[in-house]
Structure 1
Amino acid sequence: MNMISTVFTRPWTVRSASVFRYLDEQYADAFFTDGSLRIPTFQRFRNNPDEEIGDPYEGRVAASISAPNANWQVMAMNGQRAYVLSTSTIESRELHGRFVTNFGIRIQNSIAFANAISSHLPGFLGGMEGLCSYHDKPHATVHTSRGLDFERLLNETKESEVDVGEKIDRYVAEHVRDLLFIKRAQYAHQSEYRFIWYCNGYETNEQYIDIKCPEARRFCEKVDLK
């Protein structure tokens, strides 16, 4: 999926998706009581044994980057500290059954919700949200017009090899972050809409963060599909 920025000279309306977070009733009630919410990390998804929720490939990307002066083959894992909230564009008893719950939170304004949550995450740097794409073989090709000047980097005597390596890592990361929204086709029935909040620091064994964000409640409503 491409990131597109555009300017219209005539009226245009984009319908923002209403998305759903499946939760046990006690956790849905806790959110609407005081804004309590648990947000997992990629590490948590990789370690979760539940076949519906867990995915050993979460936070990993496989891609080819085609640039003017180089072609890259990338097999990488997200290294930035990040918190990930999975929601769905589907509300149904069948999907509720897969998540073993009849309750959840309907997020009616995803951008306002994401902004409210961000103010409660320590070291928040920026984030992304959007629909996931599903492929049998989740390998992508990324085309970019912005190359990396290797000769300049290597000839800059003021920079150490570590500095050069970090710049290359950042260049690659910038071009593959969108691929964190690509999942294997076996999960397509979830129709996932994903939020990712990036924070200062590196990914550790942290499984989740618990926050209280009461201001996010006004963008949501509780749903019972019993």
Structure 2
Amino acid sequence: MLESLQGSVGRQQNRELRGNDVYTMWGGITEIHRNLSEQEIAQLTSWLLRRTPRLNTSVPKLVEPAKEADIRLNEVPRQKITKMGAREHVDRFFDDGTLRLGTVRDFARQEHNEIGDGQEDAPIVIIGERIGYTAAGSFEGGHEHYVFCTFLGEPSVEILEAFEYDSYYEITDPAGFSNAVGNAIGSRHADFGRCVYAPYRALQGLVADSFTMRRIDHRTMEMVGEGRNYVKSLPYVHQKELRFTWRMKMEVGAPRLVKCPEAIQFAKRID
């Protein structure tokens, strides 16, 4: 079995994996019918990163992936959720509910030091687990989400200046806000959660008992839920981002202005 395992985890890592592993390869994606140790997860993550374009620069032999559990998807935080922006845009939101929804492709193209992040639309390595089962692969595409970025806590003067903003407001009911915007744009699914910041785009999480690799398409990326949309580069950790995402029926590229007066009731002015 070790000879076959070379195709899924690489020669360098095979010495650390047991020879009686039962696994299957589906279109370059790995299935191993047992759970891996933390070191094996780190080895597998490193190997996948090194074979993935845009992610394969200066990757060490062991890489600990970000944890889906740390995103705390749809869990209301104790801190305030604040939205920073230009005063004219804040005024417009409280006037008629106008919001600008971004996309990862738009963020990747932005040149602003705080708003832009060239890794937002990069591929991602995903490790999914359940009892007695591990699935892993590197994925790209599937950019079907509109994104709304907020800040956890009260932004300092320094943070506002870094973004070149002069106003902000609080989202008092994130679930209500998320549902209102989702209804306005006809999204298929809505989430909010904390971004996790990591040196490499890799995420480890749980897969459902019903998950299977026998149907390989862009939906395979969802094997750890929507968490892949919340992994950000480590240099942006100071942004303390809580992100709202709305999945649409098709891929989206350009940002979108939407009027959602129903969302105003779930927010309040601070300044």
TM-score interval, smaller chain: 0.7 to 0.9
CA distance in 2, matches of 1:73, 1:147: 18
Change beyond 3 A, Cα 1:139–1:165? closer
Matched, 1:112 2:176: yes
Judging by fraction of residues, say which structure has more strand. Answer: 1
- 2:146 aligned partner: 83
Alignment of 1:31-50 (within 5 A): 31-50=93-112
Q: Counterpart in 2 of 1:194? A: 243
Return the offset for 1:208. 1.0
* Residue number among 187, 190, 208 corresponding to 2:255 in the alignment: 208
Instruction: Name the amino acid aligned to 2:183.
Output: S
Q: 2:268 aligns with which of 208, 212, 221?
A: 221
Percent identity between the aligned chains? Answer: 23
- 1:26 is matched with which residue: 88, 94, 101? 88
Deviation at 1:38, TM superposition (A): 1.0
CA–CA separation in structure 1 for the residues paired with 2:248 and 2:114: 27
Q: Does 1:165 align with 2:216?
A: yes
Does residue 174 (structure 1) correspond to residue 223 (structure 2)? The answer is yes
What SS is found at the alignment partner of 1:51? coil
Q: What is the alpha-carbon distance in structure 2 between the residues aligned to residue 65 and residue 112 of structure 1? A: 30
| Secondary structure of the corresponding residue to residue 165 of structure 2 | coil
Q: What is the correspondence of 1:85-164 to structure 2 with a 5 Å cutoff?
A: 85-90=148-153, 91-122=155-186, 124-144=187-207, 146=209, 153=214, 164=215
- How far is 1:59 from its partner? 4.1
RMSD (CA atoms): 2.5
Cα distance in structure 1, aligned partners of 2:212 and 2:258: 42
Alpha-carbon shift at residue 114 of structure 1 (Å): 0.8
Cα displacement (A) at 1:72:
2.2
Aligned to 2:116: 54
Question: Would the aligned equivalents of 1:69 and 1:147 in 2 still touch at CA under 8 Å?
Answer: no
Q: Structure 1: which 5+ residue stretches go unaligned? A: 6-13, 154-163
Tell me if the contact between 2:139 and 2:221 (Cα under 8 Å) persists in the aligned partners. no
| Gap regions ≥5 residues in structure 2 | 1-67
* TM-score of the two chains, using structure 2 as the length reference: 0.65
Q: Is the 8 A contact 1:129 1:194 kept in 2?
A: yes
3-state SS in 2 of match to 1:101: coil
Q: Confirm or deny: 8 A CA contact 1:22 1:96 kept in the other structure.
A: yes
Aligned-residue offset at 1:15: 5.5
**1:173–1:59 distance in 2 versus 1, CA, 3 Å:** farther
Aligned to 1:9: none
Q: Residue type matched to 1:21 in 2?
A: K
Residue 183 in structure 1 maps to residue 246 in structure 2: no
Could you tell me the TM-score, scaled by structure 1's length? 0.77
Contact 1:81 1:200 in 2 (8 A): yes
The 3 A distance-change label for structure 1 pair 96 and 149 is closer
Higher relative contact order (CA closer than 8 Å, sequence separation 6+): 1
The 2-side partners of 1:216 and 1:73 are apart by 38
Contact persistence 1:18–1:110 (CA under 8 A) = no
Matched AA of 1:73: G
